């Protein structure tokens, strides 16, 4: 099995889901995508995670992101579970859940870690950009629910740094100061890109107010 690495093209697939057949690249279109797996339907941690994803629907939408979940349970189980999620999490699941009973997607994305869970997917997250490039990944054990604020933070960083010659420092949040790339040295370009100026902590460490996205 080929290991997926950052910068790789996210594998395409066709799979059944709660919203019908998904042809992944076609479904993604020109959006960013958060593809995330869960070990099983009707499990407590997964229920809170999918409920949280639904509650954050507006946050994903304003960033141009489509979430899509996956597990190895069949689609009938997913439909029944969605009713539980909506009821217990006071939300409405508004994104597809892939029914990966044949483990096609789990295999393509290496979501099954036999030394952790032999026959179910671990909590994997794949952030994929509009060019279908894999930009970030997270892997959590079954016992640990994901931090969706961190997922949104990473998306904010990726989208900002794609459009400006900056990087985001430790614990950065949207609106905080950012780091100017060390490769940017031309004074005229610095003045043009960062009209609010910058603070040189060290020659290689220059902080500036976050540019507009």
Q: Kindly list the distances between the CA atom of residue 124 and the CA atoms of 36, 69, 105, 150, 213, in Å, as whole numbers in the listed order.
A: 5, 10, 12, 14, 28
Q: Strands of the chain (E only): list them.
A: 14-15, 22-23, 32-37, 65-71, 97-99, 123-128, 134-140, 166-167, 178-180, 199-202, 205-208
Q: Which of 10, 34, 35, 46 is catalytic?
A: 46
**14: which strand partners?**
23
Write the CB contacts of 115 (distance below 8 Å, at least 6 apart in sequence).
none
Q: Provide the total of helices (H) and of strands (E) in the chain, helices listed first.
A: 7, 11
Active site residue 21: no
Q: Report how far Cα 187 is from the mean position of its chain's Cα atoms.
A: 36
Residue 180 Ramachandran class (φ > 0 left, ψ -120 to 50 alpha, else beta): beta
Tell me the catalytic residues: 46
């Amino acid at each position: 099995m080929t290991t997926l690495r950052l910068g790789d093209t996210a594998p395409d697939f066709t799979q059944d889901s709660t919203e019908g057949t998904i042809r992944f690249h076609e479904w993604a279109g020109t959006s960013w995508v958060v593809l995330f797996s869960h070990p099983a339907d009707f499990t407590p941690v997964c229920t809170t995670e999918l409920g949280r994803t639904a509650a954050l629907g507006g946050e994903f939408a304003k960033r141009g992101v489509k979430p899509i979940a996956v597990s190895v349970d069949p689609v009938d189980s997913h439909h029944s579970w969605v009713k539980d999620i909506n009821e217990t999490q006071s939300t409405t699941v508004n994104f597809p859940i892939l029914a990966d009973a044949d483990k096609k997607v789990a295999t393509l994305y290496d979501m099954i870690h036999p030394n952790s869970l032999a026959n179910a997917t671990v909590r994997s997250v794949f952030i994929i950009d509009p060019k279908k490039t894999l930009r970030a990944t997270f892997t959590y054990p079954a016992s640990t629910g994901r931090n969706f604020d961190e997922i949104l933070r990473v998306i904010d960083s990726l989208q900002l740094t794609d459009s400006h010659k900056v990087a985001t420092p430790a614990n950065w949040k949207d609106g905080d100061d950012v780091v100017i790339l060390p490769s940017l040295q031309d004074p005229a370009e610095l003045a043009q890109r960062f009209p609010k100026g910058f603070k040189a902590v060290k020659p290689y460490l220059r902080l500036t107010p976050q540019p507009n996205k």
